[in-house]
Amino acid sequence: MRNNRFFLQMILGVFVLLFFSKTVLAQKRIEKLESDDDVVKFVKAYFLNTDEPDPIWRDFQLVDGSEWKGLYNLNQSLEDSLSKLQVNKWQTVDFNQDKKLDLVVCGKLPHGASGNEYILLAFISNEDGDYNFRSLVPEEYQTYPYYFSIMILPKINVPGIRLVKWFPDINNESPNGHPFTVDTLGFAQEYLVNYNADPDSAVFKNVRFESLNYDGKKTIVTIENLDKGTVSPFTIVSYDKGNDSTVVNGKITMEYYAQLLSSINYSGFKKMPNQFQSNTNGAQTFILNVDYADGSSKKLEDYSGNGTYTLAAIYSWYAWLIDYSNTSLQQRRSQRNRTRSPF
């Protein structure tokens, strides 16, 4: 199990909502975006015109569609075919159906000899005229290009994102033989998840999550009695190379775990493969075990660390719970020590 710093980074990179204070005028800027230059200026201003500007965004560029070349030893016919595929640098569409345009941007941050950092951003409008900003690229995969297109999701007739991930992982290539994987992202109950036309709509009983690190460290999180009431007990046990190091017990309300359950259901979790295997030696393995109220269960083992966008989002949700619980535990211990101190 990696340390809490890794989990915090994962939260920031995968599925965390970052709120930035923007005026209503900022909303009008998305409505008026007309060119690549407009979008680049918008993204740069978004990250640079803040109280704590991040200078890396000064070099932000849009993708050009050729970044995937050289990742594979493809035959010329296939490469010529893939080169003709349309690449969207940015698109505006009303994802959350609030009658305001949202923005998806596909770009990169050049880092000299170390290559590019690839970025897929979604700026989602809210009722306050601000944006909920989301990164759709897990941090550990930002060294490989992503591309996207907008589609209309079947049955519900709302916009979705078709995300193409050019990660050199032959074991997880798409069924058509192309060396990339595809996720379809859509909004479900206000959450951006891997869209599945037939959500499980199951009643959960217990959910167990294991994060196993290559050095022997691991963390196990169990949430129980999800089918009883609106408050469920949870336990977090951290192991340091085989020895118990920390045990945290607590309770969590439906307000907080609803996002986890919605993500699992709308991902079509029951229909997912039992394993996701990478052809690289990943530093971490994730295991998700779900017990349903009807007595059935599903166990998924992810050796790739990012089987799908939704799985990465689920891992980041657990990362938040672990980090929040450990921080709260440290604060309580510090408060007790101050109370006991005679000085």
56-111 tens-digit pLDDT: 899 999 998 888 887 777 778 777 877 777 788 999 988 878 888 999 999 999 88
**pLDDT at residue 224 above 80?**
yes
Same domain, 177 and 217: no
Q: Which helix (DSSP H) or strand (DSSP E) does residue 9 occupy?
A: helix 4-14
Residue 313 resides in a domain: yes
Same domain, 24 and 151: yes
**pLDDT at residue 36 above 90?**
yes
Mean residue pLDDT across the chain: 77
How many domains does the chain contain in total?
2
Residue 197 resides in a domain: no
The pair of structure tokens assigned to 247 is: 């045990």
Across the beta sheet with 191-194, what order do the strands follow?
Answer: 146-152, 159-165, 181-188, 191-194
Same domain, 137 and 219: no
**291 with 206: CB under 8 angstroms?**
yes
Which pLDDT does position 17 carry in this prediction?
A: 35
Residue 321 resides in a domain: yes
**263 with 310: CB under 8 angstroms?**
yes
Q: Which of 128-142, 191-205, 223-237, 258-272 has the highest mean pLDDT?
A: 223-237
pLDDT tier for residue 21 given thresholds of 50, 70 and 90: very low
pLDDT tier for residue 235 given thresholds of 50, 70 and 90: very high
The number of residues in the chain equals 343
In our burial notation (b when 16+ CB lie closer than 10 A, e otherwise), range 207-235 reads bbbbbbbeeebbbbbebeebeeeeebebe
pLDDT tier for residue 259 given thresholds of 50, 70 and 90: confident
Q: Which of 117-131, 149-163, 191-205, 283-297 has the highest mean pLDDT?
A: 283-297
Q: Which neighbouring-strand residues pair with 122?
A: 104, 134
Same domain, 23 and 134: yes
Same domain, 161 and 238: no
Closest of 293, 107, 89 to residue 207, by C-alpha: 293
Q: Which helix (DSSP H) or strand (DSSP E) does residue 231 occupy?
A: strand 231-240
Same domain, 219 and 294: yes
Same domain, 288 and 323: yes
Closest of 114, 133, 139 to residue 43, by C-alpha: 133
Same domain, 164 and 236: no
Distances 50 to 20, 47, 120, 270 between C-alpha atoms, Å: 8, 6, 20, 43
The pair of structure tokens assigned to 313 is: 């989002």
Average pLDDT estimate for 224-232? 88
Residue 85 resides in a domain: yes
pLDDT tier for residue 343 given thresholds of 50, 70 and 90: very low
Of 188, 218, 250, which closes a domain?
188
CATH number for the domain spanning 292: value is 3.30.1560
Residue 194 resides in a domain: no
Residue 199 resides in a domain: no
Which pLDDT does position 7 carry in this prediction?
A: 40
More confident residue, 136 or 63: 63
pLDDT, tens only, 148-177? 888 877 666 778 788 787 766 544 444 455
Q: What's the domain range around 306?
A: 204-340
Residue 195 resides in a domain: no
Same domain, 129 and 28: yes
Same domain, 163 and 216: no
Which pLDDT does position 57 carry in this prediction?
A: 93
Same domain, 63 and 151: yes
pLDDT tier for residue 25 given thresholds of 50, 70 and 90: very low
Residue 193 resides in a domain: no
How distant is the alpha carbon of residue 97 from its chain centre?
21
pTM of the model: 0.58
The answer for residues whose C-beta is within 8 angstroms of residue 274's C-beta and 6 or more apart is 299, 300, 301
The pair of structure tokens assigned to 47 is: 């990250």
Distances 307 to 37, 45, 51, 155, 225 between C-alpha atoms, Å: 34, 33, 36, 25, 27
Same domain, 172 and 303: no
